[in-house]
Amino acid sequence: MKILVADDNVLSQRIMQRMLRQLGYEVITASNGREAADILADADGPRLALVDWMMPELDGPGVCREVRNRHEGSYVYLMLLTAKQTSEDVVNGLKAGADDYLTKPCHPAELEARLHTGRRVLQLEDKLVEAREEMRYKATHDGLTSLWDRSAILALLRSELCRSRRTHAPVSVLLCDVDNFKQINDVHGHPVGDEVLQEVSARLMHSVRAHDAVGRYGGEEFLVVLSGCGNHDVRERAEQVRRSIGDPPILTAHGPLFVSVSLGAITIENWDKSMPIEPYLKQADMALYRAKAGGRNMVMYAESLVEV
C-alpha cells in the first residue's frame, strides 16, 4: 500500500522511510506541505499519509485542511507527526482534519499499530462506498438484464432532450419489442425467456454507441435513446439494431432460438422543455404497433410532433 511521508528534515524522512519499507509500504516522500497537498490531491495518490507538523510553504494542519476541503476522491487517512504534546495543540491538529497523531521520535511498534488502525478505517470506508454504489446501481438498473430500468431510462431521455435543446442536435428514440415472446415463454418456459431477454439486452448494448442509452421499458420492451441522431441516420441505425438481434440465433438451455424484434422509431427535433415526452413515446409505440401488425421483424417510423 502506498503511503506519503511529508517532512522537511531529510534525516527524519529517511528514518521513517526505512521503517515503513520494512513494514511493506510503498513510500512516497515530500519535503514541504504544498508538495504533500498536491500529491494527496492526485487521483492515484496515497491514501495513508504521515505529515510533519512544521513544514515550509504549508504546515501539517494546513495540509489536513486542504485535503478535507476536497469534495471528491477517496478518503485519505492523515496522521500528524509532531513534537507538540499539549492538549491544545493536539485538539487543533484534529480539528484541522487529522485522524491521528504521533509524537516524535516515534516507536516502530506504535507506528505499525497506528497505521494498522488507519488501514482498517480505509477498508471500512471502501466497504461503505461499495455498498452505496451497489444500492445506487440497484435503484436505477433492471435486475434481470442490468440495463437502465424504466424510470432511469426516461430520466436519461429527458436529460438528453435538455442537452439537445442547448446544442440544437436531434435525438432519436427506438421502442423495441421481442416478437412472439409469450410463445417463447409458453413453449420453452420462463427461464429460457429470461435467457432471451438477457441476450437481447446484451446485443442491444453492443449495437449502439457508448454515449447512447438502453433501458428495459417493461416486460419484453426496450427503449433506446440515440443522441445526435436525426431522421436521416435513424433509419440505418434502427436497421442495424434489428439485424443485430436476429442473427445469429440465441443459444439457450433448450437449444438455439431464432429471435427477432419489431421497432418503432421517432426523431425529436427542436424540443420545447415545456412539452412532455409522453406524446413522443406514444407516437413511437404506435409505430411499433404498425411494425407488429405488418408482420413483425421490421422497423416503422413515426413523424416528429408539431403539436401536442
Four-residue CA torsion sign, 266, 270, 271, 274: negative
Largest CA distance in the chain: 85
Average pLDDT for residues 255-260, to the nearest whole number? 95
**Domain segments of the chain: what residues?**
2-139, 150-301
- Tell me the C-alpha distance between 202 and 85, whole Å: 61
E strand intervals along the chain:
2-6, 26-30, 48-52, 77-82, 100-103, 171-178, 213-218, 221-227, 250-252, 255-257, 261-268, 299-301
Q: What are the distances in angstroms from CA 6 to CA 15, 160, 290?
A: 12, 46, 70
Place of cell 446484451: 202
- Tell me the C-alpha distance between 33 and 60, whole Å: 7
Residue 72 has pLDDT above 80, yes or no: no
CB count, 10 Å around CB of 100?
16
Q: Identify the DSSP state of 96.
A: T
Is 79 within 8 Å of 102 (Cβ atoms)? yes
Q: What is the pLDDT of residue 308?
A: 31
CB count, 10 Å around CB of 3?
24
Q: What is the pLDDT of residue 306?
A: 37
Tell me the backbone φ, ψ of residue 24, rounded to 5 degrees: 95, 15
Pick the CATH number of 150-301 from 1.20.1530.20, 3.40.50.150, 2.40.50.100, 3.30.70.270: 3.30.70.270
Residue 305 has pLDDT above 80, yes or no: no
CB count, 10 Å around CB of 65?
16
Q: Count the helix, strand and coil residues of the chain and give each as a percent rounded to the nearest 5.
A: 50, 20, 30
In terms of pLDDT, which residue wins out, 105 or 205? 205
* Beta pairing class for 26-30 and 48-52: unpaired
Rounded to the nearest angstrom, the gap between the alpha carbon of residue 42 and the centroid of all alpha carbons in its chain is 19
pLDDT digits (tens, 9 = 90+) for 211-247: 999 999 999 999 999 999 998 899 999 999 999 999 8
Q: What is the pLDDT of residue 160?
A: 94
pLDDT digits (tens, 9 = 90+) for 269-294: 888 877 899 999 999 999 999 999 99
Q: Is 220 labeled as catalytic in the residue annotation?
A: yes
Average pLDDT for residues 137-145, to the nearest whole number? 95
Residue 139 has pLDDT above 60, yes or no: yes
Give me the CATH topology for the region 2-139.
Rossmann fold (3.40.50)
- Tell me the C-alpha distance between 181 and 192, whole Å: 10
Retrieve residue 20's grid coordinates: 515503513
Q: What is the pLDDT of residue 105?
A: 81
pLDDT digits (tens, 9 = 90+) for 94-124: 899 999 988 888 888 999 999 999 999 999 9
Residue 92 has pLDDT above 50, yes or no: yes
Q: What are the distances in angstroms from CA 212 to CA 150, 173, 174, 246?
A: 15, 10, 11, 21
Average pLDDT for residues 257-268, to the nearest whole number? 96
Given the residues 199, 220, 239, 278, the one annotated as active site: 220
- Tell me the C-alpha distance between 58 and 46, whole Å: 18
The DSSP annotation for 191-209 comes to HHHHHHHHHHHHHHHHHS-
Four-residue CA torsion sign, 284, 288, 294, 300: positive
When pLDDT is cut at 50, 70 and 90, the band that residue 304 belongs to is: low
